[in-house]
Chains A and B, each alone.
Chain A
Amino acid sequence: MKVLLVEDEILIQKSLKMLMEKRGAEVVAVSSGKDAILEIKQQEFDRIVCDLMLTDISGFDVIEESKSKLSTEEISSKFIIITAYSSSQVIEKANNYGCKVLNKPFENINEVIEIFLTNERT
């Protein structure tokens, strides 16, 4: 499974990458929204795990920019938003895109990695 991980907190980025690679996934990790958009345009991914608060733009901006390459269906099934700032507005916006939102920190890390790496959305 090919995963794009967009997370600017380096320790979280490295750890999540390692955790997913241990499970056999191929992970491309980037630290900014702009880099994420470049990667999405250049490669195919099965899963895009994207932090909301990035240093340059927001995770939702990344989703918007992906619309030029991905269909609504693909956006809904591939993107998973992770964030420490969940609010009802955030959840509403995510719902508009049809994407799942997970809160950082994760209570059960293994469960979450499982979710990242499963094709079917629960």
Chain B
Amino acid sequence: MTFQPGQPVRVKRDFPELRGPCHIRTPHYLRGLDGTIERPLGSFANPEDLAFARPAAKVPLYHVRFDQPSLFNEGAKGDTLLVEIFEHWLEAR
């Protein structure tokens, strides 16, 4: 496990959609944004491979917390968002 609860992370600003058929569980609206690790959720087979019936390695999954109003410059101060994100989509910051 690479990341610890409370650790600041950034979602990779990557768009595999540009490189051909793919299946990704990292929402577009979070790419490149800063969040904080809430807690680890265990490891799960990589959906990006499962979707194409390829052998899928298990990847650690985290609950990552984000500031909600800064996502779209809307919403109420202090509100938050919690999202499951796979480790290979996260980098330390």
A is bound by B? no
Hey, which bits of chain A sit against chain B, CB under 8 A?
none
Hey, which bits of chain B sit against chain A, CB under 8 A?
none
